[in-house]
Structure 1
Amino acid sequence: MRIPNTFLVLGTLCVHLLIGCGSNPGTDETRQVKEVWTVREANAWVSQQGWLIGPNYIPATAINQLEMWQEDTFDRQTIDKELGWAADLGMNTARVYLHDLLYEQDSLGFFSRMDAFLTIASKHGIRPLFVIFDSCWDPFPALGKQRAPKPHVHNSGWVQSPGQAALKDSTQYPRLERYVKALMGRFAEDDRILGWDIWNEPDNMTGASYEAVEIKDKVNYVLPLLEQAFVWARSANPTQPLTSGVWAGDWSTHEGLKPIEKLQIEESDIISFHNYDTPEDFEKRIQQLQRYGKPLWCTEYMARSNGSTFAGFLPIAKKYNVAIFNWGFVDGKTQTIYPWDSWTKTYTDEPPLWFHDIFRGDGTPYKQEETAIIKDLAGKK
């Protein structure tokens, strides 16, 4: 979910400076936390999965994570229909976003709806990768009825988790800890789930969309909380892998990584990354990350006007057995057929080239040749 013109703020950090909760490194709880998977463990697990391909998924009827999961707008019928379309393409996974406020609002109902989603996904042979936290787009999430989309604007209603108020207030961190531990405790051994993406693009400063209202030293808050989130999730000893994807910058050497990127790499059971650039750059990034010896997941790609396409990326991903998740699926309330620059450039109609997404709302493919490529490489007859 890359946002253009991102400005990253780095500083010298004390990783427990802002936590105010969680485990002390010397406690029994911390000593019992499951270790990060070894190279051997990660590769053994991935060898049993086959090639993984799917979308970043939200139903066309939801503008953001809250609208997808809240009781009044949880759309089982649309989810069933759309995941059926994914299965028809040969897709076997999907990356799906959660939100901390959903647990605070109605923990039992939220988990019940997650269970219903998993039942639908399992029926279609799809095992989701759930995203727990996210630093992209609107930093002021609010429960209840969500706003209508801004016409022709990319992701005009997507919200961060945790929101800015919670991120700045360490007294709310115990609430976030309860959320992660309850979530993982409930689903840590559920074989319908592929894995857990702890935090999406944690140091993203939201570019032209919300940069003016972002915390200027946002990374100083996120980095220690990201480290704790891995600890909280791992404390449930999940059978599924944990990850958090690097998404921007120079990855040519480990020493050259930013502190938050080092943490993401070192704490991930499976290494994940984003790439919305050319096929050549995509392959170069794969080769750079291969130095860690672990399996790779590309958890975001496919922006047609950037040169990131199904035809260009899928053969490379399959060649290296890299799991691959395109952004967007069905044209809907997120309006991601429009490019990132729709926040600063006015569009009045469907763009000449869709940025993301595969299907129109009625299930018609945007490009038949693209769905043919997906089916062919996914082995769908």
Structure 2
Amino acid sequence: MSGRWTPEKAHAWFKEQPWLVGCNFTPSNAINQLEMWQARSFDLATIDRELALAASVGMNAVRVYLHDLLWVEDPTGFLDRIDSFLSAADRHGIRTMLVLFDSCWHPEPALGEQPAPREGVHNSGWVQSPGMSVLQNAAEHDRLEDYVRGVVGRFGQDARVIAWDIWNEPDNGPEVALCDPVALKAKADLVVPLLVEAFGWAREMKPIQPLTSGIWLGDWSAPDLLSPIQRAQTDNSDVISFHNYGIAEDFEQRVNWLKAMGRPLWCTEYMARPAGSTFQAILPVARKHEVGTFCWGLVKGKTQTHLPWDKWENPNLEGLKERWFHDIFDEDGTPHCEQEVEFLRLLSQLDRMAA
């Protein structure tokens, strides 16, 4: 098996890349990964229009979620649609981080028509990949291997892909993964070996891009404070990635903790305005420490991530009328906050001048 990159290789590769400023991308007319990618709802015109908005503020990367069920339904068509997406992003000067698995929100995904958004609810239709029933059934794991090998095998030599995010928040808990603490422990026991295997399947395809999986919970100030899942994530990542929705001081503290791992860093989720995680607060710190960044959201849409996090059984029907939680543009391309957009464009100009 092709091994994990050395720190020296990771740093050498990282220095050849531009500073990444990007977003987590789902088109506004898709409620989840399945609606984004299924043939019946894949909408390249909307994708292209919204990627143009990302490029207009200087973004050069997007993080995009795939789903294992799409491989079951139509592997050839799925790969062709990914190729179309990568071409659209490339036309706008944007490279793509592809996310293979995800442990957030609905635990039992299903192909076909996806539900309509629930009024007032943040990310009401997002689905896990794989679902809990697949995690629990070892007989299904061969098809997960086929999926990883198939997708990484097709795009592992493709310069339009910037990285592979093997598993998003594999330890997400009761409020976001819809499981109680006992079920979460059982889920973690299933995820750890599969997470490590997934890194191995991807590596055996010999991709030119680095592999990663972002940690997000707890205190990372010492190796013995990491959970078993976090150790599996960081021990197998070529570039260390993390999520942080805190203020600038918290962000910088976590960057300093993670620097001790001796590898380049990406923050693959941030930007929650009411929590103090804003472009103006976080990006100068990230730029100083050479940390690539991907905010959550681009265009307000069916995911409703402009609304605040909340328990699903207690929808926030009012939302945030004056200040969105995530997202940058309305569906017609109007910025939620002109000052933010101007800040992003100025930062992009400064970065180009410094290059």
TM-score (norm 1): 0.89
More divergent stretch after superposition (272-281 vs 342-351): 342-351
RMSD (CA atoms): 1.4
How many percent identity over aligned positions?
52
Q: Does 1:148 align with 2:116?
A: yes
In structure 2, what is the Cα distance between the partners aligned to 1:62 and 1:239?
30
Matching residue of 2:41: 73
Letter in 2 for 1:359: F
Mapped contact 1:271–1:295 kept (Cα < 8 A): yes
Matching residue of 1:30: none
Query: How big is the shift at 1:342?
Result: 5.6
DSSP-derived class of the 1:325 partner? strand
In structure 2, what is the Cα distance between the partners aligned to 1:193 and 1:342?
34
Q: Does 1:127 align with 2:98?
A: no
Q: Does 1:84 align with 2:52?
A: yes
DSSP-derived class of the 2:189 partner? helix
Matching residue of 1:235: 204
Per-residue CA deviations over 1:242-294 (Å, capped at 9, x if unaligned) read: 00001111100012211111111110000000001111000000000001121
| Matched pairs, number | 349
DSSP-derived class of the 1:199 partner? strand
Letter in 1 for 2:227: K
Letter in 2 for 1:317: A
Q: Does 1:309 align with 2:278?
A: yes
Mapped contact 1:168–1:221 kept (Cα < 8 A): yes
Query: How big is the shift at 1:213?
Result: 10
Letter in 2 for 1:144: G
DSSP-derived class of the 2:100 partner? strand
Q: Does 1:357 align with 2:327?
A: yes
Query: How big is the shift at 1:376?
Result: 1.3
Letter in 2 for 1:326: C
Q: 2:307 aligns with which of 324, 338, 346?
A: 338
DSSP-derived class of the 2:282 partner? helix
Query: How big is the shift at 1:343?
Result: 2.5
Letter in 1 for 2:155: F
Per-residue CA deviations over 1:44-80 (Å, capped at 9, x if unaligned) read: 1011111101110000000000000000100100000
In structure 2, what is the Cα distance between the partners aligned to 1:121 and 1:206?
35
DSSP-derived class of the 2:23 partner? strand
Letter in 1 for 2:244: N
Matching residue of 2:76: 108
Mapped contact 1:209–1:343 kept (Cα < 8 A): no
Matching residue of 2:158: 190
Mapped contact 1:152–1:342 kept (Cα < 8 A): no
Matching residue of 1:23: none
In structure 2, what is the Cα distance between the partners aligned to 1:295 and 1:304?
26
Letter in 2 for 1:72: R
In structure 1, what is the Cα distance between the partners aligned to 2:141 and 2:229?
19
Q: 1:49 aligns with which of 6, 17, 33?
A: 17
In structure 1, what is the Cα distance between the partners aligned to 2:177 and 2:164?
27
TM-score (norm 2): 0.96
Q: 1:117 aligns with which of 85, 91, 94?
A: 85
Mapped contact 1:60–1:361 kept (Cα < 8 A): yes
- C-alpha change, 1:302 and 1:331, in structure 2 (3 Å) is same
- C-alpha change, 1:222 and 1:342, in structure 2 (3 Å) is closer
Q: 1:379 aligns with which of 336, 346, 349?
A: 349
Mapped contact 2:173–2:180 kept (Cα < 8 A): no
Letter in 2 for 1:169: N
DSSP-derived class of the 2:268 partner? strand
In structure 2, what is the Cα distance between the partners aligned to 1:42 and 1:336?
33
In the TM superposition, 1:148-297 aligns within 5 A as: 148-207=116-175, 210-212=178-180, 215-216=183-184, 217-297=186-266
In structure 2, what is the Cα distance between the partners aligned to 1:326 and 1:79?
17
**Which residues of structure 1 form unaligned runs of 5+?**
1-32
Query: How big is the shift at 1:373?
Result: 1.2
Q: Does 1:370 align with 2:340?
A: yes
Mapped contact 2:251–2:282 kept (Cα < 8 A): yes
Mapped contact 1:137–1:206 kept (Cα < 8 A): no
Mapped contact 2:308–2:319 kept (Cα < 8 A): no
**Which residues of structure 2 form unaligned runs of 5+?**
none
More divergent stretch after superposition (235-244 vs 254-263): 254-263
DSSP-derived class of the 1:95 partner? strand
- C-alpha change, 1:117 and 1:35, in structure 2 (3 Å) is same
Query: How big is the shift at 1:202?
Result: 0.5
